[in-house]
Amino acid sequence: MHHTSITRLGLILAAVLVLLAGLVTSAIYLTRPQGSPVAEDMGKPVMATQIEFLADAMKRSAARIAAHPQTLACFASGSPEVCQAQAANLQALNQDATILFVTDGQRQLLPGFLPGDTRQLLANAGHGATATATFNLSLSHPVTGADGKRLGFVIVEQSVPQLQVLFDTLPLPDAAAYAELQQSQGGDQPAVLMRRGNQAIKRNARPTLIALAGTPWQIAVWRPVTPVAENVAPYILGWLVASLLIAVLVMGIVLAVRNRVTDNLRTLVKFTNDLRQQRLRADYAVSLAEFQAPLETMLKLGKVMLGRQKEVSSQARLDHLSQVNNRRAFDEKQKELFATLKDGWSHSLLILDIDNFKQVNDTFGHEAGDQLIIKFGNVLKSCLRNSDFIARLGGDEFCVLFPYTPLDRAQELAERLRAKMPESVELIPGVTQRLSWSGGLSEYSRDDREENEALARADAALLEAKRGGRNATRVRAAA
C-alpha cells in the first residue's frame, strides 16, 4: 500500500490549487474585455480645423464668384475679354488659387494652369458640386443665370503648401503613435497622402478616424498597443499573490491538522503502552472527534482484556484447592526476594507440613483430606500478616515467605502462628480433626548460590521437627 504523509498531501493540494488559480487567472486574462488600442478621442486637431476653415472659405468664395455680375456676364456673353478680365481680377485677389469658368457644355472658357486633379474635376464637373483633391483642395460651384438656368461652373482650386507643415505639427496622442492623412477613393482602401510616426504599429490596431468636413480627407491615428508583458504583469502578480496565500493557507491548515492528528495518535500510542504494561488510566484526552469513538472502544476492550488477563494470571498462580499461591507463584516470589538480598534486605521462610495428613485421607476419605487442605489454607490466611506470602507447595505441604523479615523475627511470627492456630477444624459434618503441623524455618542468604538453598535448609529443619515428634518448628540458619 502506498503511504502518503499529511504534509505531502498538503503540498499536493497546494500545488493543485495554485495550478487551478493559474488556470482561472489565465481564463480571466483571456476573456478580459479587449481595450481599444486607440482608447481616447484625440479631439479635433488644429490642423483639421484650419483645413475645414479653408474649405469653408473656398466654398463661400466660389459662391460669391459664381454670383458676381461680372462672372454672370462672362457666362452670359461668353466673351473671352470679360471672362479674362474677371479671371485676372480674381487671380489678383488670391495668387495661390486657380479659378476656372466652365460652361455647362464643359467648354473651358478661360485659359490657365490646369493641374491633373483639376482636369479630373473638369471631367466630373457635370455631376454636381463635389470636391476632390490631393495636396490641392478643389471645389466647384454652379453658376446660375437670372432665369434660373444653369450656365456652368466656377472651379476654385487652392494649393495648400502649408498642409505638410500643418500635418507635421499635428499633435499625436503619444510619441509612439502613427498618423496618416488619407483621401477616400470610394473603395475600401483610402489613398495615403501623408505619413507620420512609426508605421509598424499600424498592423496592431485600428485607427481613430478624424473626418475633415468639406474635404475628401480624413486623419487616421494609430496608437501603439500596450506591450503584452505589461498587460500580463498584473495577472501574473495576482496569480503569484493568490498562490502565496493558497500555499500559506493550505500549509497552515495541514500543519494544524497534522499536529492535532499527531497529538491524538500519541494518546493512542500511550494507551497501547499502558495496556501492555497493564495499567490503564481512567481517562485519555483526544481533541479530534474522529478519535473519540475508536479510543472509547479500545478502552473498553482494553479493560476487558486486562481483567481477563489478570484473572488468567491469578488463576495460573493460585492453588485451585487451597486458594493460596501455587508453586509457580512461590518460585517467582522467592526469586524476586532473592534478588533484593544484595541490597541488604533479609527475608525468611517457613515450611509447614500437616501432621498425619495421610491418616485423614486414609480414615475419612480423600474429600476430608481436601477439606483439611482448604481449611488449613484458610487458617494460615487469617493468622498471618497481609504482607506474608502463603503458598501450597504440594500435598499437605505449605510454605510462608516472610518478606523483609530477619530470621529471629520470623521465628516470633512462626510461634505466634502456632499459638493462634485453632486446635481443630471440622472437615465434613461429624468429622473433626485436630490441627497440628510441623515447621522448618530458615532465611535467605547472600552467600547462597541460588534461592532454593534456603528452601532446602527449611526442609531439613522440617525433617528435624518431624523426627522430633512433630507439632513443632525447627530453625536452620544459613551457614
Ligand X SMILES: Nc1nc2c(ncn2[C@@H]2O[C@H](COP(=O)(O)OP(=O)(O)OP(=O)(O)O)[C@@H](O)[C@H]2O)c(=O)[nH]1
- List all residues 6 or more positions away from 311 whose beta carbon is below 8 Å from its beta carbon: none
Q: State the nearest-atom distance from the C-beta of 451 to ligand X, in Å.
A: 24
**Binding residue for ligand X, selected from 354, 393, 454, 461, defined by CB under 6 A:** 354
The residue with its CB nearest to ligand X is: 369
281 vs 358, beta carbon nearer ligand X? 358
Contact call for residue 359 and ligand X (CB under 6 A)? yes
Contact call for residue 356 and ligand X (CB under 6 A)? yes
**CB-CB neighbours of 358 under 10 Å:** 12
What secondary structure does DSSP assign to 169-209, as a single string? TPPPSSTT-EEEEEE--SSSSPEEEEEEE-GGGGGTSPPEE
176 vs 463, beta carbon nearer ligand X? 463
Q: State the nearest-atom distance from the C-beta of 395 to ligand X, in Å.
A: 4
Q: State the nearest-atom distance from the C-beta of 270 to ligand X, in Å.
A: 46
323 vs 359, beta carbon nearer ligand X? 359
Q: State the nearest-atom distance from the C-beta of 361 to ligand X, in Å.
A: 5
* x/- track of binding to ligand X for residues 310-349 (CB under 6 A): -----------x----------------------------
- Which range in 36-44, 351-359, 403-411, 451-459 contacts ligand X by CB under 6 A? 351-359
Contact call for residue 363 and ligand X (CB under 6 A)? no
Q: State the nearest-atom distance from the C-beta of 376 to ligand X, in Å.
A: 11
**Binding residue for ligand X, selected from 108, 120, 361, 378, defined by CB under 6 A:** 361
**Binding residue for ligand X, selected from 396, 443, 448, 451, defined by CB under 6 A:** 396
Q: Residue 281 burial (CB < 10 Å; 0-12/13-18/19+)?
A: exposed
Q: State the nearest-atom distance from the C-beta of 438 to ligand X, in Å.
A: 7
Cell numbers describing residue 39? 482608447
**Binding residue for ligand X, selected from 355, 388, 443, 448, defined by CB under 6 A:** 355
**Binding residue for ligand X, selected from 357, 376, 389, 444, defined by CB under 6 A:** 357
- Percent of residues in the chain assigned helix, strand, coil, to nearest 5: 50, 20, 30
**Binding residue for ligand X, selected from 366, 385, 416, 467, defined by CB under 6 A:** 366
Query: Looking only at Cα atoms, what is the longest distance across the chain?
Result: 189
**CB-CB neighbours of 96 under 10 Å:** 11
What secondary structure does DSSP assign to 399-449, as a single string? EEEETT--HHHHHHHHHHHHHHS-SEEEEETTEEEE--EEEEEEE--TT-S
355 vs 443, beta carbon nearer ligand X? 355
CA dist 300 → 267, 289, 296, 304, 312 (Å): 15, 17, 6, 6, 18
Q: State the nearest-atom distance from the C-beta of 410 to ligand X, in Å.
A: 22
347 vs 392, beta carbon nearer ligand X? 392
**Binding residue for ligand X, selected from 43, 307, 395, 422, defined by CB under 6 A:** 395
CA dihedral 43, 47, 49, 54 (to 10 degrees): -170
The C-alpha atoms of residue 332 and residue 313 are separated, in whole angstroms, by 13
**Binding residue for ligand X, selected from 358, 416, 434, 467, defined by CB under 6 A:** 358
What secondary structure does DSSP assign to 48-112, as a single string? HHHHHHHHHHHHHHHHHHHH-HHHHHHHHH--HHHHHHHHHHHHHH-TTEEEEEEETT--B-S--
The C-alpha atoms of residue 395 and residue 392 are separated, in whole angstroms, by 8
Q: CA angle 396-347-409, nearest 5°?
A: 90
Contact call for residue 353 and ligand X (CB under 6 A)? yes
Task: Summarize as ranges the residues that interact with ligand X (CB under 6 A).
Answer: 321, 353-359, 361, 366, 369-370, 373, 395-396, 466
